[in-house]
Structure 1
Amino acid sequence: MESRSKFTGKVGFVLAAAGSAIGLGNIWRFPYLAAKYGGGMFLLIYILLVMSFGFAIMIAETSLGRKTGLSPIGAYRVLNKKYSCIGAIASIVAFLILPYYSVIGGWVMKYLAGYVQGETIAMATDGYFGGYIAQPVEPIVWQVIFVVLCGVVIIRGVKDGIEKVSKIFMPILLILSIVVAIYSVTLPGGMEGVKYFLLPSFEHFSGMTVVAALGQMFYSMSLAMGIMITYGSYFHKEDDLEKSVKHIELFDTGIAIIAGMMIIPAVFAFSGGDETALSAGPGLMFITLPKVFANMGMSRVIGLIFFLLVLFAALTSAISLMEAVVSVFCDEFKWDRKKATIIVTICAILLGIPSSLGNGIWSGFTILGLGILDQMDFLTNSILMPVGAFLTCIFVRYIIKPQVFIDEVKQSSEFKREKLFVVVIKYIAPVCIVAILVTSILSTFGFMSI
């Protein structure tokens, strides 16, 4: 078996890990959740959670990967073979998210192609998005293209594939995001959206605001998916782990804030300050925003730039999901990278087809009122991820003990937030994770509104 690759240094690791964290969760999911759960109050709670809860879980996962030099299953097995099932859960999460995430990535590619071809008005019409995703063939074609692009990057390896693409995409994504955000903020009426998004109001505080912010943090920081364990295994022992995680936090939070500044002021400007226009869920990106762009000057250019940056974000996240799965196959079955990538690519395409058809000819197949894509999202994000994260906290606290992870971090850094790590991983994180799990299940079964 080929020797394990490494990132060339801290910058490569930070950009790759940040690229994983910065995906559709930041560009699409964060703005509409922020709008739904109180704007500035949601943002404030989210930042506090990222700097505490998110920091502790990410330190645990990346230090586990660096200490063992293995993908999730092997990493847990080396420390205690009885608990390799935790790594298996994380690997299954990545394996299941990649196919339906790629379906949405395909939608992004379709819209980008639409702006390239000048279909600005057509994409802003009622029924365009619903009509498109209901088609049996074209969405699958775009999904296949999206998955193959990810596979090409993964085959090239850690240095020449993941790291190189991240070093190119991340700066471009940041620049494009800032350009669109500045445009949105300067629109007539846009400043009302800025105030709503940035200024906390305690009248918007509720338990659901905390739970929603916690769930979003989980999703956007790529926790409990095996990704940070895998990327941690490519991280050099001498590079500062704590500082790197801090930079990932800043990247993730920064892009989330910029995404809010892109979308919320623009929708405020063109809806006359109607906050309900922000609660469209997936429609915010694919239905509401094309209408916004169609009313802007240089609408084709703005739409093209926006969906280009969304595509970059979606690709970097999907690449990390695929890498987490490929690394497991390489470690567990001793396959070479090319063979593992081809098999994972084929599986992602085949498993993604039902999620795509579930919006059209298979739309009648529902469980608890959820379509196929939503079923996969519920299973991974609302069940498996919280369960895996909870078991990780138990593993760190009772089985291996926090000191093992602290020692790993201190090989390359002072670990200034050591006490925070211990308190969160022992007491706060388990309670919060259970809250996410219970709330998600109750809301899905209709016992509460989320």
Structure 2
Amino acid sequence: MSNRDQFASKIGFILAAAGSAIGLGAIWKFPYMAGTNGGSVFILLFIICTLIIGLPILVAEFMIGRRGQTDAVSSFKKQAPGTRWFLTGWAGFIFSAIILSFYSVVGGWILSYIVRAISFELSGSGEDYYGELFASITSNPWEVVIAQAVFLFLTVWIVQGGVKNGIEKASKWMMPLLFIFFIVLVIRSLTLDGAIEGIKFMFVPDWSYFTGKTLLMALGQAFFSLSVGVAAMLTYASYLSKETKIGSSAINVAGMNIGISLLAGLVIFPAVFALGYSPDQGPGLVFIIIPAVFQQIPFGSLFMIIFFILLLFATVTSAIAMLEIVVATAMGPKYDKRKQYSWLCGFGIFIVGIPSALSFGVLSEIKIFGLSIFDSADFLTNNIGMPIGALLVAIFAGYKISKADAAAELNTKDWIFKTWRILVRFVAPIAIIIVFIQSVFFR
């Protein structure tokens, strides 16, 4: 039996953890949430909530994972023997598998768009054309299932290589490229005539949107965009050496997540306003409005290719974190069996995800509590699984781990530790409960 893998460097861990956080939440969901909730006020509240609510829970997951030095289930068993806290690890395992099952469907859509963009088939004009294109892609059973399989194959191929030679190596080149691509697109977007209106939308507050609903939406986005609550960060932190500072690593990850979210807004909103579209287009913003926008600017086809490759990178880095939780838990201490477990888990998730892939076409008539199969999987994980998981992490870190052990693990200044402890014991749990009640019972 081989030794357990570890991240080779602090920057490798930060880029991998940031990659987990920076996925569709930052690039797909953040722009349309900001667009439908007033822009600047939502963005301001999102940043505040990320720092006050999301960051303390992220630190808690890092702490639990690094203390355990093993998979999520074993980590809770090790730190709370003889209790049922290990069920939190199993919940992370189950919800991560469900998330990846429908997340890989969206990854497949992105691959379909990349193939069409490279072959210059995205050459229509107007949102009606792209709306019809999106509907035709998502309702084609063969295309969505094959594309989903290809996306999962890519994800498994990276994860089966291990932490150092798979996840860390992939993150080290994908994340810098993601930033470079973003900067190129931001520059192009900001140089469009009329782009200033998009900048105003993002940074000049319209206080009429400062409502309880906007605050809850921002809190939910901050919370979900950091990938907390499903043991992703806990699992990654289990591969950390004891020399790595948890607090500074968490701040770097949260900062990169905020940065990418703002860059996504700077790519999308100036272009949307400059070309006369409305920012409140909802989930179709990336797949319908953005291609329509790119078609109206010089070299738009090239920038469209760059945008969807960027979106693929962000989606893959999140997907490998979800798969790693499942693989690490399934293989347990059998570290030499990583490749077999990676392909086995990947195949299982592919099978589970097929109904979600088909829920826009041949299975579109099937509804679960009024939602499609895809949407019900999304609702189950985002609105129920992640809040419960994060609440349990906050309670475990704040109450089950002793003050002395937590202080020794975090190894930071006394006032920073005390602030974190207040936030994770009182502020974060209350906020999570409010978001949970709002999203489940008042949606």
Mark yes or no: TM-score above 0.5. Answer: yes
Aligned: 1:436 with 2:435: yes
- Which of 76, 93, 99 pairs up with 2:101? 99
2:40·2:202 contact (CA, 8 Å) conserved in 1?
yes
User: Which residue is 1:421 aligned to?
Assistant: 420
CA deviations on 1:116-152 (whole Å, 9 max, x unpaired) are: 0011224861411111101111111111000000101
User: Which residue is 1:266 aligned to?
Assistant: 271
User: Which residue is 2:156 aligned to?
Assistant: 151
SS at match of 2:288: helix
Cα deviation, residue 336, structure 1:
1.3
1:2·1:336 contact (CA, 8 Å) conserved in 2?
no
Cα deviation, residue 399, structure 1:
2.5
User: Which residue is 1:448 aligned to?
Assistant: none
2:39·2:202 contact (CA, 8 Å) conserved in 1?
yes
User: Which runs of structure 2 are paired with 1:147-296 in the superposition (5 Å)?
Assistant: 147-271=152-276, 277-296=278-297
2:53·2:223 contact (CA, 8 Å) conserved in 1?
no
Cα deviation, residue 70, structure 1:
1.2
Alignment RMSD: 1.5
Q: Percent of aligned positions with the same letter in both sequences?
A: 37
CA deviations on 1:206-248 (whole Å, 9 max, x unpaired) are: 1111111111112211101111111101111012221111111
Q: Work out the CA distance in 2 between the residues paired with 1:417 and 1:260.
A: 31
So what's the TM-score if we normalise by structure 1?
Answer: 0.94
| Amino acid in the other structure paired with 2:428 | A
Cα deviation, residue 178, structure 1:
1.0
| Amino acid in the other structure paired with 2:65 | G
| Amino acid in the other structure paired with 1:69 | Q
Aligned residues, how many? 438
Q: Work out the CA distance in 2 between the residues paired with 1:374 and 1:293.
A: 28
Segments of 5+ residues of structure 1 without an aligned counterpart are 445-450
CA change 1:407–1:314 in 2 (3 A) is same
Cα deviation, residue 330, structure 1:
1.6
Greater alpha carbon shift after TM alignment, 282-291 vs 250-259? 282-291
Q: Work out the CA distance in 1 between the residues paired with 2:22 and 2:414.
A: 25
| Amino acid in the other structure paired with 1:46 | F
Q: Work out the CA distance in 2 between the residues paired with 1:416 and 1:309.
A: 39
User: Which residue is 1:447 aligned to?
Assistant: none
Segments of 5+ residues of structure 2 without an aligned counterpart are none
1:20·1:318 contact (CA, 8 Å) conserved in 2?
yes
User: Which residue is 2:117 aligned to?
Assistant: 115
1:52·1:420 contact (CA, 8 Å) conserved in 2?
no
| Amino acid in the other structure paired with 2:424 | I
Greater alpha carbon shift after TM alignment, 170-179 vs 88-97? 88-97
Q: Work out the CA distance in 1 between the residues paired with 2:336 and 2:88.
A: 22
Q: Work out the CA distance in 2 between the residues paired with 1:278 and 1:403.
A: 49
Cα deviation, residue 398, structure 1:
2.9
CA change 1:328–1:415 in 2 (3 A) is farther
SS at match of 2:282: coil
User: Which residue is 2:375 aligned to?
Assistant: 374
Q: Work out the CA distance in 2 between the residues paired with 1:415 and 1:423.
A: 12
Q: Work out the CA distance in 2 between the residues paired with 1:403 and 1:179.
A: 47
Q: Work out the CA distance in 2 between the residues paired with 1:365 and 1:290.
A: 30
CA deviations on 1:332-366 (whole Å, 9 max, x unpaired) are: 77771011101111012111110011110100111
Aligned: 1:306 with 2:311: no
Cα deviation, residue 278, structure 1:
2.2
CA deviations on 1:348-401 (whole Å, 9 max, x unpaired) are: 211111001111010011123211110000000100111111122222233224
1:122·1:128 contact (CA, 8 Å) conserved in 2?
no
| Amino acid in the other structure paired with 2:196 | M
User: Which residue is 1:84 aligned to?
Assistant: 86
| Amino acid in the other structure paired with 2:422 | V
